[in-house]
A and B are shown apart, each in its own frame.
Chain A
């Protein structure tokens, strides 16, 4: 959106367009690394401190989702991309994944019940 002046209608060629990339410094990258490492260590501690339970599984999955958001947002740079690109990547993933998980929970239950009837 900041490239209006450099890429006007006459000169824009989609195949060769490279937006100017700028370094945001390494501070946020290292911070993300320490958070990812910390979450993995907490995962490890919870694994040995608590027995297997649904609550523990939910915590593990929640931590996994937090790690995924950090990797995609900071490491893969999606937080800094244009709004339309962000939505084009995030929306289909969220919609399709929630669809798959909902049907896993509904149909998976049926598969295990089926044995008893």
Chain B
């Protein structure tokens, strides 16, 4: 008996148990998320390469602060970063409610899991609503998949440089000239791809939430499905950290 533990600690790959000590479904979820991380990093690196290629160009890359400077009910004021920070806050809060649902699942507390799942779904829906508003503003101002009206004239650029928080924005349609097209198309592709992940996350969350309330996992004896959908939801939050950094901060 004395050397049986020594044998099992050195023979983790000889079969008989999982070297990863994790269920099949969770392992596959991790591998899927790894592949999804590669997809998103390729998109962001592609964004970086294209943005890099406009350095010193006659049609410079638009400054995100002059494009994404709207906030609901504060029309015409210069408010960069505030709205996306609110979206980030919503996603962080929905991430913490998700992880609280997973923790409640470890204690087999059906009522708490269902409460936190519901809050997570609300957070996801709020984020999607914010993104829909952001897209409609962007499209309204002239962002399209195949054109971009955020190439401001020199006068408008000069005006934009000296804008402070809450300043009224003065430029008109005449200030807008065609700018780099990839700025608009990459915005739609990357935030759209992320938004679609959020949408499918909300749908999966709703399915799991219904199962929780119907007692499916209580009968099964464990809430591992909540853990799996939690992994996906946190990944969506993780991707947003980098979309936020590269699209709005830099």
Contact = CB atoms under 8 A, between A and B. Distances in A.
Interface of A: 1, 3-4, 7-9, 12, 14-15, 17-19, 21-26, 29-30, 32-33, 36-37, 40, 43-44, 47-48, 52, 57, 60-61, 63-64, 67-68, 71-72, 74-77, 81-82, 84-85, 88-89, 92-93, 96-97, 100-101, 104, 107-109, 111-112, 115
Interface centre among A8, A23, A96 (most CB of B within 10 A): A23
Given A3-B21, A97-B41, A104-B48, A29 B27 contact: no
B38 A96 contact: yes
Main secondary structure of the interface of A (DSSP, over half): helix
B17 interface: yes
Interface of B: 5, 8-9, 12, 15-24, 27, 30, 34, 37-38, 41-42, 45, 48-49, 52-57, 63, 81, 85, 88-89, 92-93, 95-96, 98-100, 102-103, 105-107, 165, 222, 224, 227, 230-231, 234-235, 237-238, 241-242, 244-245, 249-250
Contacts of A24: 103
Pairs A-B, 9 closest by C-beta atoms: A9-B16, A108-B52, A23-B106, A82-B21, A85-B20, A111-B53, A64-B245, A33-B96, A75-B234
Contacts of B93: 33
Contacts of B24: 14-15, 17
A81 B23 CA distance: 11
Contacts of B238: 67-68, 71-72, 76
Contacts of B27: 85
B17 A12 contact: yes
